[in-house]
Amino acid sequence: MGTRKDLLNSQLTTNRQPRAALLKSSSRDRFGSSSNTARVPRVSMLVSDEYIIERVEIDERELERDPAGVQLRYNQTEPAIIRDGVDGLAVIDQGDEQYRVDFWGYAFGRLYINSEGVEEIGQKLTSNDGEIPSWILDSETVNDDDPPWWVPESVAIEPTVTCNNCTKTVSAQEGLSPRDLPPSIDGPVVCQTCWDQR
């Protein structure tokens, strides 16, 4: 539900890292936040500053469309909310305990992080206190028999949810938990089909 996203949003406003203050105003604008009081780059929701080895300013067009590595996608579960964060990211093992992270969406860029950083991404983005995962591993980019070490074992590679209206089990990408569900639906989760037919 909204709780975890609200938490991430509040981290955006509270994680005032020294690095953010060093950024030039142009790059602050690029990662600009929706609030005048929180001029902190969106990347702080991905990984703590202390694990970042290097942050690369990159033109959006330079990001590969389908980079190598394990990809995670943000799973929008609230149809009425317009987000301005990161929609997806790829983690590319560079060897020597270094990882490249390309991320895209409203905010985009490239980071080089250490192994603690990639572990943090695995834990933070795959932990799920809501009904539906907020982030989902792209199964096409993960080897089921040899999942990346930084993804917790409990994380489903193809998670499913059950619709509280038609009781069908659907992929988590098709699950929605809108705030304004009709009271006739007995639970917080609906599938896309039921939502469209409400």
Q: Which residues bind Zn ion (CB under 5 A)?
A: 163, 165-166, 191, 194
The length of the chain is: 198
Minimum CB–partner distance for residue 128 and Zn ion (Å): 20
Minimum CB–partner distance for residue 96 and Zn ion (Å): 48
Tokens 């005048």 belong to which residue? 36
Minimum CB–partner distance for residue 186 and Zn ion (Å): 12
Decide whether 70 or 194 has the Cβ nearer to Zn ion.
194
Decide whether 16 or 168 has the Cβ nearer to Zn ion.
168
Decide whether 134 or 164 has the Cβ nearer to Zn ion.
164
Tokens 């469209």 belong to which residue? 196
Decide whether 46 or 172 has the Cβ nearer to Zn ion.
172
Vertex 151 angle, CA 149 and 152, to 5°: 100
Any bridge partners for residue 169, and if so which?
162
Minimum CB–partner distance for residue 130 and Zn ion (Å): 18
Q: Give dist(CA 66, CA 87) in Å, integer.
A: 14
Q: Phi then psi for 137, rounded to 5 degrees?
A: -70, 135
